Amino acid sequence: MILGVGVMRFKTNKRLWLAVSAVLFVACWFIPIIGVQPAMPGFVLLLGLFDPAHFREVLPIVAILLFAFASGAVIVGWILQCVFVMLRHARSRP
């Protein structure tokens, strides 16, 4: 549907958005965290949640990482699915 001069609306592909965001979210946990000595991936901190001695120390860090990774994955996933939908639409036009 054309809304004005050159402005088009595209339908969000929610399944693609969810899939891309989920892959990005999981991949983020394997990136080494800068500022932690020695640099370790985030999933190592997740394992610290199961240690009662370190639970209170690790929980705030994991919560911050969880929010940061989820926010970033959703935003980047939405942008990537937008690009995919626009390219697919351009390819299907005669």
CB atoms near residue 26 (< 10 Å)? 12
CB atoms near residue 12 (< 10 Å)? 12
Q: What is the pTM of this model?
A: 0.79
> What is the Cα gyration radius of the chain?
19
The pair of three-digit structure tokens given for residue 34, joined into one six-digit string: 């800068």
Cα–Cα distance between 25 and 73 in angstroms, integer? 5
Could you give the angle at the alpha carbon of 69 between the alpha carbons of 73 and 56, nearest 5°?
Answer: 160
Domain spans of the chain? 59-94
pLDDT in tens, the chain (94 residues): 555 566 778 888 999 999 999 999 999 988 887 776 677 888 888 888 888 888 888 889 889 989 999 999 999 999 999 999 999 988 887 6
